[in-house]
């Protein structure tokens, strides 16, 4: 039996969704973020040394990293579903977006989260103006323009095909859901990017997505 080590409001929601799309049975072991720090509880380090979510266990296997988990699940249990045929341009695009989600866009959104929090963090009064100035400068000179470039890029790509890898829905769309949802929560993604908003509408309407939300519980992305 596959066990998904699931942290509330986190990337592991994608794994639940993939398993629902594939119709595979699984169990959920739940972990709650610390209310103050929003970090994962230390118990998660017992299943993976980094203590991050998602992690799955499947028999003797314990695997972290969303992209690696998605690749493992579609390869082991997909019977060719949700992945384009090997050697096709769609497969190349599939690989690209599978890596892009965590390798390119997500680091920008994480930096945005961290610098937004620095501005609000408790600190001695004399340090606040300095911290605020550094944060605002980093955001306006680096983070915000980068996020904008990524959003414009993804918007243009989804103007060419309905799904990230091409005409068909694939597991790359599942992987891309989290950065896009995070971009709505904190990256300025809104109706100025109609293709991305339509993509989110389509994925949220999928029965498997809804089932995964029901099973996963609370899913409100950090701002």
- Footprint of ligand GSH (CB under 6 A): 7, 10-11, 39-40, 52-54, 65-66, 102
The nearest distance, CB 70 to ligand GSH, in angstroms, is: 9
| Least distance CB 53 / ligand GSH (angstroms) | 4
- Return the ∠ at Cα 107 (arms to 164 and 54), rounded to 5°: 75
Spatial strand order in the sheet of 26-31: 26-31, 2-7, 55-58, 61-64
Structure tokens at 156: 């243009």
Cβ proximity to ligand GSH, 33 vs 211, nearer residue? 33
Residue with Cβ nearer ligand GSH (52 or 139): 52
Q: Give the list of residues 6+ apart from residue 85 with CB closer than 8 angstroms, or none.
A: 91
Shortest reach from residue 13's CB to ligand GSH, in Å: 9
CB of 76 to ligand GSH, least distance (A): 18
Give the nearer residue to ligand GSH in terms of CB position, either 11 or 139.
11
CA terminus-to-terminus distance, the chain: 34
Between 65 and 144, CB nearer to ligand GSH: 65
Is 55 within 8 Å of 5 (Cβ atoms)?
A: yes
């Amino acid at each position: 039996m596959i066990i998904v080590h699931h942290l509330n409001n986190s990337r592991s929601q994608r794994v639940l969704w993939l398993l629902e799309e594939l119709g595979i049975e699984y169990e959920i072991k739940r972990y709650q973020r610390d209310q103050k720090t929003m970090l994962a509880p230390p118990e998660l380090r017992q299943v993976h040394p980094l203590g991050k979510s998602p992690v799955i266990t499947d028999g003797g296997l314990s695997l972290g990293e969303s992209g690696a988990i998605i690749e493992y699940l579609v390869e082991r249990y997909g019977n060719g579903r949700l992945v384009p045929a090997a050697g096709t341009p769609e497969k190349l695009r599939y690989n690209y977006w599978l890596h892009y989600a965590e390798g390119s866009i997500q680091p920008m959104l994480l930096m945005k989260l961290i610098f937004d929090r620095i501005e609000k963090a408790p600190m001695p009064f004399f340090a606040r103006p300095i911290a605020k100035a550094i944060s605002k400068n980093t955001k306006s000179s680096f983070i915000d323009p980068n996020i904008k470039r990524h959003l414009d890029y993804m918007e243009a790509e989804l103007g060419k095909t309905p799904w990230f890898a091409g005409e068909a829905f694939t597991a790359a769309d599942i992987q891309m859901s989290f950065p896009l949802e995070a971009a709505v929560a904190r990256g300025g993604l809104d109706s100025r990017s109609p293709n991305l908003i339509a993509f989110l509408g389509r994925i949220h309407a999928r029965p498997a997505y809804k089932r995964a939300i029901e099973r996963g519980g609370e899913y409100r992305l950090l701002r």
